[in-house]
Amino acid sequence: MNKILVANRGEIAIRIMRTAQKMGIKTVAVYSTIDRNAPHVKFADEAVCIGEAPSISSYLNANRIIEMAKTLQADAIHPGYGFLSENAAFAELCETHGITFIGPKSKAIKIMGSKLAAKEAVSQYNIPLVPGIDEAITDTKKAKEIAKSIGFPVLIKASAGGGGKGMRIVEKENELEAQMKRAISEAHSAFGDGSVFIEKYVSSPRHIEIQIMADGHGNILHFFERECSIQRRHQKVIEEAPSSILNPELRKKMGEAAVKVARSCDYLGAGTVEFLLDSHHNFYFLEMNTRLQVEHPVTELITGVDLVELQIRIARGEKLPMAQDDLNISGHALELRVYAEDPLNDFLPSVGHLKTYKLPSGPGIRVDNGFEQGMDIPIYYDPMISKLITYGKNREEAIQTMIDAISKYRIEGVETTLDFGKFVFEHHAFKSGRFDTHFVPKYYTPESIEQHKKNDAEMAALIVAKHYMEAQNKLRLPR
């Protein structure tokens, strides 16, 4: 493998290229017209424009990407995450044209891409599933019957997708019809498929995911867990590894279950198996993401493993270079997704010009970044600017390093999730480890951040006044 085309943009494209270049592999960046001056374009050995700004005309244009890979003689394509990363047809297209797709085979993507097909596959391995139905429906009358049999509250979920789209919690029977219509409409709009399924809603859950890696020689390893319970609109904002709630026995059980999930679909490469953990520490299979996750850096920091390098080695046909017993957890890592969003306005995207953009640095701080000062945040793509990751010898140290790193991060021109992150990391519920996926609705309001900022300003003023008084006293001392 001499050359890899990275079919993505921003921080993840640069992240992949760093490892490829470390391995002596040339890289090709693809870009849309609006990204022509983006850092990932400058970082690559070669770069090629693949279309106009809208993703459907560029980063989702599978045929154009394949054409460029062949023209520039790339041996492989790494899709990153998002865009074409979980597109089975794109994986097949790569196979047809003799280009290595750095990811699972199309069969596994298809199975795990459908929540119902995934449940059917893993059910053969005695993996716990949330009580619910095993078929997709659009009939409201039938939905009511199913919901009654399961018992309220229930969760309506889109069969064909994720990311919180087409998902509705229904507390009472008289709410079901309206929520069903909304879920179907949203699922159809997002995925082109309005079918949904219904399952029991697990109250006060923790969202725990297990990183797995499988080679083409029958070896499957898990790289422990990540806690992803701090979410807004069912989408992750903060992740950490390891979880503060898992003990060694539960960690082992969940890791073994994740390996079975990978085996159920003949998996290859990096993947993540997601579980819900209830208040009694019962866990249930949620879904499998057939790609590299946004939050993979926290796993890399606690295991000392480069997951992208393993992906590339597996794609080259190599065996995993370690056994399960060789893997250990060392220290603690946290990640904050720095979104161009306004936490004071329901986390709505905040596009604009990065007038000031300065990254924090120092021991225990890592920033996976895709922007530079003077750039604009485009409206066409996901509003994530970067990922701020910190590491410490324990959870307390990682949290304090994160708080310090947030204070050093300078962004002017757009609103971001930095202040929201500081609010979370300083909150007693997060620090104590006693929280669940309801953290945001339970504890967060725009006013809480405003109060947080006011308190910080008052504290800063007191510190300045104290230093001033100390300086004055020194000047008055007799000589």
Tell me the pLDDT tens digit for each residue of 255-266: 999 999 999 999
Name the token pair of 292.
């590299």
Q: Look at residue 163 in the predicted model and tell me its pLDDT.
A: 64
Q: Tell me the one-letter amino acid at 412.
A: E
Which pLDDT does position 453 carry in this prediction?
64
Weakest mean pLDDT among 26-40, 159-173, 309-323, 329-343: 159-173
Q: Which residue has the tokens 């057939």?
A: 290
Which has more confidence, 458 or 172? Answer: 172
DSSP string, 19-82: HHHHTT-EEEEEEEGGGTT-HHHHHSSEEEEEE-SSGGGTTT-HHHHHHHHHHTT-SEEE--SS
pLDDT one-digit tens code per residue, 308-339 = 999 999 999 999 999 999 999 999 999 999 99
> What is the pLDDT at residue 370?
95
Query: What pLDDT does residue 457 have?
Result: 57
Contacts of 174 (CB under 8 A, 6+ apart): none
- Percent above pLDDT 70 for the chain: 93
The C-alpha atoms of residue 395 and residue 65 are separated, in whole angstroms, by 42
Cβ atoms of 208 and 226 within 8 Å: the answer is: yes
Full-model pTM? 0.88
CA distance 363 to 301: 13
pLDDT at site 256: 97
Whole-angstrom Cα distance, residue 362 to residue 251?
31
Q: What stretches of 346-438 show up as alpha helix (H) in DSSP?
A: 395-408, 418-426, 428-432
Residue 470 pLDDT > 90, yes or no? no
Quick one: average pLDDT of 29-36? 98
pLDDT, position 472: 66
Judged against a pLDDT cut of 80, whether residue 460 lies above it is answered with: no
Top mean-pLDDT range of 47-56, 228-237, 438-447: 47-56
From CA 23, how far away is CA 46, in angstroms rounded?
A: 17
Helix (H) or strand (E) holding 8: none
Looking at the predicted structure, is the pLDDT value of residue 465 above 70?
A: no
Q: Does residue 232 surpass a pLDDT of 60?
A: yes
Write down the pLDDT at residue 167.
86
Quick one: pLDDT band at residue 407, thresholds 50, 70, 90?
Answer: very high
Q: Tell me which residue of 106, 85, 120, 80 sits closest to 287, measured CA to CA.
A: 120
Q: How confident is the model at residue 202 (pLDDT cuts 50, 70, 90)?
A: confident
Active site residues: 291
pLDDT digits (tens, 9 = 90+) for 81-92: 999 999 999 999
Query: Which are the contacts of 27, defined by CB distance < 8 A and separation ≥ 6?
Result: 3, 4, 5, 6, 16, 17, 20, 21, 43, 44, 45, 46
The per-residue pLDDT for range 338-394, each reduced to its tens digit, is 999 999 999 999 999 999 999 999 999 999 999 999 999 999 999 999 999 999 999
